[in-house]
Copies of this chain bind each other. A is one copy, B any other.
Amino acid sequence: MDLEVVTVGTELLLGFTLDSNAAEVSQAMASIGAVVTRRATVGDDRAAIRAAVADGLNRTGFVIVTGGLGPTRDDVTKHAVADVFDAPLDLDASYLEKLERRFEQLRRGPMPESNRTQALVPRGGTMLRNPKGTAPGLWLESDRGTAVMLPGVPHEMRWLLEHEVVPRCRERDQTRQGSVTRSRTLRTTGIAESKLAVEIAALEERIAPVTLAYLPTLLGVDLRLTAWQLDSDAADDALERAVQLLRPVLGVNTYGEGAVDLAAVILDSLRRAGIRIAVAESCTGGLVGARITDVPGASDRFAGGVISYDNESKTRDLDVAESLLDEVGAVSEPVAQAMADGVCRRFRTEVGIAVTGIAGPEGGTEEKPVGTVCFGVRLPSGCRTLTRWFPGGRSEVRARAAQAALDAVRRALDGE
């Protein structure tokens, strides 16, 4: 089943409110194998709502509208949809009575006149129960198509979606029951999107009917695999097959699946090896420690660290030789190595990660431009160093550097 979603609200168009309802409707529909093919957002404007709903019905025959069912004058969704269906609005006397009782029970005084509109139903329509608020949902179906109206208040919308809309859609769509759209996400870091694409391009056809989407973020590129409109087992099988095909090609570039965090992956490796880590941070200023300690239970593997933001601290707290700093500069692989060694000695850990770099906007030179970051990883078997160059502003360089630091530890532990 294909459908379109129309979200109504001038505040959405102004951008003050994120359209979380649209995302929730999409997810709920995908879970039962229905596909949202297009989404539109319009203001609290009867003509605009009418046009968007009519367009959606013309294209797919099924439209879900959220918002504009409240009691105020700018709530006109019901009127607009009734226009499309050429249906007059009838007053539902029993619902009106229920509304009035509700106001009494909540000791809110007599029901305001404006709430009467919430008891109006387009002729031929069905009210959908909304125990969370005063605006019922509405289901309107004719040879024009099917329009479902839901209130815009997120927790009311969510309740109606789950308890009223999804079951009805499922029932209505018996023939396709079992057909679902499911996704799995492989997370990569340390490799550019275009390079990744080159490496796995050949697989795109082989993983069909599963499709592949590249989702680049500051911290890496996520690969979302989606199986569309298959029966539940077939979707799972197709996804599993796709993951099995991709994993060996991605190799060490992928650090896990789904909501996994890179820091949690490292902590698990450390736990398996029975060793601990400490951090020595210059340009990231605590960000690497913050990433690690955001993982619940980090304390058994994370001893702590030194934020050696000035050179004095590098010498005093991490035993980096002053002569070395003078000779090669603070942003250099030898200093990163000395920092990693120093923090392991101080915290008596087997693993240490050190970061020193130029986050900008000041401090860059021709030889070491802004974005240059050196890393030192100390492991029981020795030290590795590397230098990377990150694009972007200060915050981006720092976020990328913290991720790269964690990734350097992961790759080093992986190679052990």
Contacts and interface: CB of A to CB of B under 8 A. Distances in A.
A14 B26 contact: yes
A70 B214 contact: yes
Contacts of A272: none
Given A72-B214, A108-B192, A194-B111, A38 B48 contact: yes
Interface in A113-162: 113-115, 131-134, 153, 155
Contact of A194 (B114, B197, B213, B398): B114
A22 B23 contact: no
A12 B111 CA distance: 40
A286 B299 contact: no
A107 B389 contact: yes
A15 interface: yes
Contacts of A361: 296
Given A39-B40, A296-B361, A391-B132, A224 B16 contact: yes
A178 interface: no
Interface in A92-119: 105-109, 111-115
A31 B295 CA distance: 39
B16 A27 contact: yes
Interface string A329-364: 000000000000000001100000000000111100
Query: Do most interface residues of chain A lie in helix, strand or loop, or is the interface mixed?
Result: mixed
A48 B226 CA distance: 20
Given A52-B38, A72-B214, A198-B114, A286 B279 contact: yes
B317 A310 contact: no
Contacts of A44: 213
A286 B293 contact: yes
Interface stretch (A169-177, A231-239, A242-250, A300-308): A300-308
A41 B17 contact: no
A54 to B, nearest CB: 13
B23 A15 contact: yes
A13 B36 CA distance: 6
B112 A11 contact: no
Contacts of A14: 26-27, 30, 36, 181, 183, 226
B293 A285 contact: yes
Nearest to A309: B304
A281 interface: yes
Interface string A60-81: 0000000000111110000000
Contacts of A57: none
A158 to B, nearest CB: 11
Contacts of A394: 294, 296
A381 interface: no
B299 A310 contact: yes
A290 interface: yes
A408 interface: no
A218 interface: yes
A19 interface: yes
B193 A71 contact: yes
A313 B343 CA distance: 12
A48 B42 contact: no
Interface of A: 10-20, 22-30, 35-44, 48, 52, 70-74, 105-109, 111-115, 131-134, 153, 155, 181, 183, 192-195, 197-198, 201, 204, 213-218, 224, 226, 279, 281, 283-290, 292-294, 296-299, 302-310, 312-313, 316-317, 346-347, 359-362, 388-392, 394-396, 398
List 10 tightest A-B contacts by C-beta distance, closest first: A285-B293, A286-B289, A15-B26, A286-B286, A15-B27, A39-B41, A304-B309, A15-B23, A112-B194, A286-B290
